[in-house]
Structure 1
């Protein structure tokens, strides 16, 4: 029987199991001892054991399976999204497709496009006025059939309206860079701002994000020199992706 003093017993039990997970004693997909076994091992009540396991679940370290018990979750992301190399060569398709194929996966996506007007936030990002017409496209991306990423993009219709690429997915060319190239607007750089936060209900359900696992929210904007031509809000689960950057350093000037 353990001797619990100071911190609440359930937190100390969570500390002990967490240490076993992090040091590899308990590995991915290992089943935790049953509630009865944990009660006997630590000499505590069922509610204390359940509270300890719930702490680990809220941290994204374990997952409950109905009727089977609690299991250790894999802690290393399953996929790598290489951001820094996406534009080492001028792309001929979407960045997601290039990234998935580079990882040996099959990319797929579904989308919905509609005309709307820019909110103040989107207008500020695109350098236009609130209320100006934009093309809004919502995407759900899959890699090997599994949901991998959500994205909502906005393009000022003052740029694309009446051109062959007005529809982001309905024209002869797809992918922001090649589409803009097709109408003589040449993207010079891309800015990405990345933040971490809790998944919203729709995001968690769609991406199958477990409790306790944060998402990575990426605000991406394409520029043709100083002019923003497209902006997007991208969401990926942090347990599936690492944002891996390879950034060039200018050559030394002698």
Structure 2
């Protein structure tokens, strides 16, 4: 028989002792979300019942259900008929509102990160249709070589993305001497090369994984994945890297807060 953990209510810890502006359901939602993220409620732990939450916050059932419904839409909760609401196993995420490397973002969340270098090429693709867009986006003249770096990014030993990065051959040759399996090149740029990062242009779409990508990401061919196209500039506006990031959607997500 499956056992469920029922959380004891402690009303003295509620943020509602210090009311904040905003709809009641949003305040309940935000407090519960914080308790899920900080580990007060663990994955697969049962949340207090609707009746308990009504007593705790002194609100209506509709208000509680609206708060829980929003968290369910976010993927933080899941419902078991007749049992109640339970905390989902959280997906690792990267905030697209900040320009940061994958390992930089994931390490802050306590995840183990590893990069498997699939290839670093300075010749293949140059002068072909495959290199036309990267060359144009990086503003590289035709005689100048272009470097192509391919990596599979692992999170807790599970592949989450396949990254194909283009840059000038000069920059690629410097990176070839670095610890690429263990470090993000964003941090290498800033901390070792003194290149200040400025901004990145992003485009995101969904595609079906071909046989090569499917094998690298350990998914079935034809599985829907996210493709992120990213052009990163230095602080003075010079293009540094142009990338295609092919990301699994089942074990990773991107987040972005947009203000009106």
Please state which band the TM-score falls in when normalised by the shorter chain.
0.5 to 0.7
Aligned: 1:108 with 2:114: yes
In 1, distance between residues paired with 2:230 and 2:241?
Answer: 8
In 1, distance between residues paired with 2:227 and 2:172?
Answer: 29
Listed as ranges, the matches of 1:13-28 within 5 Å are none
In 2, distance between residues paired with 1:100 and 1:180?
Answer: 19
Deviations 1:62-81 (A, max 9, x none): xxxxxxxxxxxxxx996232
- Structure 1 alignment gaps of length 5 or more: 1-75, 250-254
Partner of 2:196: 186
Q: TM-score, structure 2 length as denominator?
A: 0.54
- Asked if structure 2 preserves the Cα contact closer than 8 Å seen for 1:191 and 1:221, the reply is yes
In 1, distance between residues paired with 2:115 and 2:231?
Answer: 20
CA RMSD of aligned residues (A): 3.0
Residues 211 and 140 of structure 1: CA distance in aligned 2, closer, same or farther (over 3 Å): closer
- Asked if structure 2 preserves the Cα contact closer than 8 Å seen for 1:78 and 1:239, the reply is no
Aligned: 1:126 with 2:138: yes
Partner of 1:66: none
Deviations 1:127-152 (A, max 9, x none): 11235212221101111111111011
Equivalent residue in structure 2 for 1:157, among 156, 160, 169: 169
Partner of 1:201: 211
User: Which SS does the other structure have where 1:188 is aligned?
Assistant: strand
In 2, distance between residues paired with 1:238 and 1:202?
Answer: 17
Residues 248 and 142 of structure 1: CA distance in aligned 2, closer, same or farther (over 3 Å): same
How many residue pairs are counted as aligned between the two chains? 164
In 2, distance between residues paired with 1:102 and 1:161?
Answer: 27
- Asked if structure 2 preserves the Cα contact closer than 8 Å seen for 1:204 and 1:210, the reply is yes
Deviations 1:83-127 (A, max 9, x none): 23543xxx5xxx221233234321111113232236211111101
Q: TM-score, structure 1 length as denominator?
A: 0.55
